[in-house]
Structure 1
C-alpha cells in the first residue's frame, strides 16, 4: 500500500476503509516488532552455546521492522506507536562539547505599546549534532520576555527541525543515514559505536530516525525520479532483496529496481542520477507503474516483465552486451572452451571502439561505430550462428550462443544512435551498493521499510554520481527542507547544491 503515492479517497466510506487498512498495517508491524523483541530477549537469556548469527539476524529483523513502522507513521502523520515500559531518555553526557546559541526577538521594546521588555526566564533545547569526526551539542537558549507595561509575552520561536520534538540535529541524522546505506553499517552496530562515546542511542531510536527522515526526504527522491524519466535514454535493472512476510516473521523475495540516467559518455549536460523503487515481488506490473509516463530508449536485460513496455512502442529496448559476454566468460572459466574464448575476444573489439568513442558527441560516436563496430558486430552474429551448427544443441555453450543471437538483434540500435550504450552497466553499477548492503542487513522489514531504503539509495547514490559529499549535502538539506516549499524542492537536488 505504501509503495505508491498516497491519495486519500474523497468518499467518506472509502476513507474509513482506507484508514482501517492502514491502521491494521501499522498495528501488524507493531505486533511483529514486539514478537521479535521477545525472541531476541529469549535468545539473550539462553545465549550459552547458541549461534551469534541468530542474534544478529534478530537484531536486523527488528531494525528493519522499526524503520518500516516509523516510515508508515511519519508518511501518514499518524501518532507514534507507543511502546510499553519505554525507558526514559538519558541526558547527553557532559563530556560532549556544548555550543550555545541565544535566540532573542531582536527588539528590546514591545511591538504593541513600546514598553520595555524584561526577561522572566528562558527555555533551553539541546540538539545532539554530528560534524565529521565528533559529536557536539547545540544548546539553543530562548529567553522568555514580557512587557513591563502591557504584560505581552514575547519569545523567539524554536527553529524548525527535521524531527519534531526530537533531539537529533540534521548532521547526526545524515550520519546515521549515510552509515547505513552508503557504509552498510547496521543500526545495532552504530548503536554500539555511539555507546562507546557515552551516548544512549539504541537501535530502535535510530530506526525511528531513519523512517521519519526518509519520509521527509521523499519529495526529493521523487524529483530525482522525474529527472531520470525526462531523459531520451535510461538504464534499468533490478535485484532481489529479502523482506519479512507480513504476520509470519519469515522472509519472502522482494525486489529493488533502479532506473539510471547518465549522459556523460556522449557529452550530455544533464546531471547523472539513479532512481530506486521497491516492490514486494517481481511482477511486470511494477516496472509498468514506474515507467508509465516514460517515452524513450531503455537499456535492460532480457527480463520478460519488460516485454509489455516494448509492445506499445513508447519504450524502445536496447539489450546489454555485458550480459552476453558474461555467459561466455562463465563457460570459458568452467570448460576452457575455445569458442567461448574467441567470442570474448570479438566482443572486446566492440568495447575498444566504445573506449575511443567515449566523451564524443552522438554524431561522432555513430560515425565511429558505423566504420569500426558494425563490421565486427555483423561478423560476430554470422560466426556465432555457424558455431551453433558444430556443437550439441543441449550444451551450455549452445544456450549461451542462442542467448547472444537473440540479444544482439535487440542491441543493434546502438550502432546507429550515439546516445545509446553497448551495455547496461550504468544500471548495474547502481546495484553494487544494494549487493554490499544485502550482506550486512540481509532484508527489509516490510514494503514501507523497502520504500525507505529505496529513498535513501536514490539520494545517496545520486549524490555520489555527481561527486557530491553525501553527508554534507544531506545535513544541509535536512536543515532546510522542513521549511522549504514543495514547489521549489528541485533547488535542493545534489547537482544544484552549493556547499
Structure 2
C-alpha cells in the first residue's frame, strides 16, 4: 500500500497538513481493502460459476465458501477499522487417580452405612476414620445468554436530560456472540481441529442453530483483531538468538482446476528449555502457497542468529551474503534426520553399515540426555570434552564408507545426504544453546496432521492464512 500523497502538501496551510495526510493514508487503506474484496469476489464467482468440468461437489463447495467467508469477514473488518469512525517433551503416560489438580472444585458426597448399630448389640458405632476417593467428573459445556440491561434515569423535577450508562464494547457490534463464545470457536477450530460444520452440529445438539458460514464470519473478524498480536509475537520470537524452523504441507482447494493444490505452513519456534533459558517457548505459523526458500527468507526478516532446521535445500539461501533481511544465518542441522536416513536403510535391508552409524549417533544422544537442562556453559564443556571426539570419529567413518559404497545405491544416497549437512551437524558442538536436533519444532507441527485429517483441505489460500 502506497503512502505517497497524490497532492502537493506544501500548497496546504501547515495547520491542516496533518489532517490532510491522515485522510490520504486512510483513503489508501480503503483502496487496499477494496482490492482485497474484489479479488475474493472473483474467487467466489469462480467457485459458483466455473465451467461444468471445474465445478465442485456440494461438500467441496461449502468448504471453499467457509474459508472465503472467513477471508471476506477479515477484509471487511479491516475496511471498517480503516473507515472514519461513526460510532463506538513427551513423557511416559501417568495414571492420575487421586492426583487431580488442587484447584479443581471438589463436591464432597458422604456415603454413610445403612445402620450404625454394632452387630453384637453393644450400641452405636463411633467414627474412627474415612476413605476418600477422587474421581474426575465432566459437566457438558453450558450455553447461556448474557442480557445487558442499561437502565435509563431522568429527573422528575427538571427536564435536563436522561442518564444512561454507555453500552459495553463488543467485538462484533450488534452480533450474537460474546468474546468468550468467539474464543471457544477459535480454540475448537485451531487447537481442537474441529471444522466449522462439526462445531455447528455440536451447537445444534443444544438447540442453537448457527450456520458454519456464521462461524466463519466470526473467525474472520477475530483473525483481523488478532493480527497485530501475531505480528508482535513473531517480532518477539525473532529477537532471540536461536530459533527452530520447519514446514509442513497444507492441502488447499484449487477451484479453477477442480482439485487440491499443496500449500505450506511454515513454523518458526523458540524453545530454550533444553538449556534453562528464561524466554518462554513460542511458535508462529505462516501460510504460503509454495515451499520456495524465498518464503523462509521473508519470514525471517530481522532475525540474525542460529537457525535449527532439516536438510531442505530451500534454506540454503539464508546462509548466503546476498540474503535479504539480515546477515547470513548460522545453520544447525538435525541429527535426528541423519539418524532417520540410516534407520530407513537398516529397517529395509538390515545393513551392518547403517547399524554402525546408528550406534555412533546413539552415543551422542546419550550424552545429550545427561546434560539436558544444564546451563549453556556446562553443556558446551561436556560436548567439547565428550562429543567432539565422537563426531570426529563419525566424520572419518562417514568418509570411509562413502569411498566403499556406490553413491547411487540406497545407502550411498543416505550417506551423501549426511555428508551435505556435515557443517551444520557440527554447530551444536560450539554453542551450548543449540540442540542436537530440531525435534522441538517437529513436535509442534505434528498436530496439524489432525487438521488435515478432519478437514481434508483448506477451502482457499485465504483460509490457510487465517
> Which range, TM-score by smaller chain?
0.7 to 0.9
Could you tell me how far apart the structure 2 residues matched to 1:289 and 1:7 are?
Answer: 20
What is the Cα deviation at residue 448 of structure 1?
A: 2.7
Alignment of 1:401-440 (within 5 A): 401-440=415-454
Could you tell me how far apart the structure 2 residues matched to 1:341 and 1:211 are?
Answer: 51
Find out whether 1:68 has 2:71 as its counterpart: yes
Give the one of 283, 302, 306 matched to 2:311.
302
Give the one of 154, 171, 180 matched to 1:171.
180
Alignment of 1:212-231 (within 5 A): 212-231=221-240
Could you tell me how far apart the structure 1 residues matched to 2:389 and 2:354 are?
Answer: 20
User: CA, structure 1 residues 446+74, in 2 after alignment: closer, same or farther (shift >3 Å)?
Assistant: farther
Give the conservation status (yes or no) of the 8 Å contact 2:244–2:441. Answer: yes
Give the conservation status (yes or no) of the 8 Å contact 1:317–1:410. Answer: yes
Could you tell me how far apart the structure 1 residues matched to 2:34 and 2:226 are?
Answer: 26
Give the conservation status (yes or no) of the 8 Å contact 2:237–2:269. Answer: yes
Find out whether 1:321 has 2:335 as its counterpart: yes
Give the conservation status (yes or no) of the 8 Å contact 2:37–2:75. Answer: no
Partner secondary structure for residue 431 of structure 2: coil
Give the one of 41, 45, 55 matched to 1:27.
41
Could you tell me how far apart the structure 1 residues matched to 2:2 and 2:161 are?
Answer: 43
Task: Determine the structure 2 residue equivalent to 1:123.
Answer: none
Find out whether 1:207 has 2:216 as its counterpart: yes
Find out whether 1:336 has 2:350 as its counterpart: yes
**Greater strand share, structure number:** 1
Which digits, 9 at most, give the CA deviation of each residue in 1:294-323, with x for residues without a partner? 111101122222222211243111111111
User: How many residues align structurally?
Assistant: 383
Partner secondary structure for residue 278 of structure 1: strand
Could you tell me how far apart the structure 2 residues matched to 1:294 and 1:60 are?
Answer: 36
Structure with larger RCO (C-alpha < 8 A, sep 6+): 1
Task: Determine the structure 1 residue equivalent to 2:153.
Answer: 145
Unaligned runs of 5+ in 1: 1-5, 44-53, 80-130, 453-499
What is the Cα deviation at residue 245 of structure 1?
A: 3.5
Partner secondary structure for residue 200 of structure 2: helix
Alignment of 1:86-105 (within 5 A): none
Find out whether 1:372 has 2:386 as its counterpart: yes
Task: Determine the structure 2 residue equivalent to 1:104.
Answer: none
User: CA, structure 1 residues 19+137, in 2 after alignment: closer, same or farther (shift >3 Å)?
Assistant: closer
User: CA, structure 1 residues 335+8, in 2 after alignment: closer, same or farther (shift >3 Å)?
Assistant: farther
| Rg (Cα) greater in structure | 2
What is the Cα deviation at residue 248 of structure 1?
A: 5.2
Give the one of 252, 260, 270 matched to 2:261.
252
User: CA, structure 1 residues 345+228, in 2 after alignment: closer, same or farther (shift >3 Å)?
Assistant: same
What is the Cα deviation at residue 211 of structure 1?
A: 1.0
Task: Determine the structure 1 residue equivalent to 2:113.
Answer: none
Partner secondary structure for residue 28 of structure 1: helix
Task: Determine the structure 1 residue equivalent to 2:409.
Answer: 395
Partner secondary structure for residue 76 of structure 1: helix
TM-score, structure 1 as length reference: 0.71
Give the one of 262, 266, 269 matched to 2:275.
266
User: CA, structure 1 residues 365+217, in 2 after alignment: closer, same or farther (shift >3 Å)?
Assistant: same
Task: Determine the structure 1 residue equivalent to 2:361.
Answer: 347
User: CA, structure 1 residues 140+215, in 2 after alignment: closer, same or farther (shift >3 Å)?
Assistant: same
Task: Determine the structure 2 residue equivalent to 1:494.
Answer: none
What is the Cα deviation at residue 35 of structure 1?
A: 5.6
Partner secondary structure for residue 137 of structure 1: coil
- Decide which moves more: 138-147 or 368-377: 138-147
Could you tell me how far apart the structure 1 residues matched to 2:269 and 2:29 are?
Answer: 36
Give the one of 201, 204, 218 matched to 1:192.
201
Partner secondary structure for residue 149 of structure 2: strand
Give the conservation status (yes or no) of the 8 Å contact 1:173–1:209. Answer: yes
Could you tell me how far apart the structure 1 residues matched to 2:254 and 2:188 are?
Answer: 26
TM-score, structure 2 as length reference: 0.76
User: CA, structure 1 residues 10+241, in 2 after alignment: closer, same or farther (shift >3 Å)?
Assistant: farther
Could you tell me how far apart the structure 2 residues matched to 1:280 and 1:232 are?
Answer: 28
Task: Determine the structure 2 residue equivalent to 1:360.
Answer: 374
Give the conservation status (yes or no) of the 8 Å contact 2:266–2:286. Answer: yes
Could you tell me how far apart the structure 2 residues matched to 1:399 and 1:342 are?
Answer: 17
Could you tell me how far apart the structure 1 residues matched to 2:59 and 2:462 are?
Answer: 22
User: CA, structure 1 residues 246+293, in 2 after alignment: closer, same or farther (shift >3 Å)?
Assistant: farther
Unaligned runs of 5+ in 2: 7-23, 83-138, 322-326
Task: Determine the structure 2 residue equivalent to 1:480.
Answer: none
Aligned-residue CA RMSD (Å)? 2.7
Which digits, 9 at most, give the CA deviation of each residue in 1:376-398, with x for residues without a partner? 11111111221222223211110
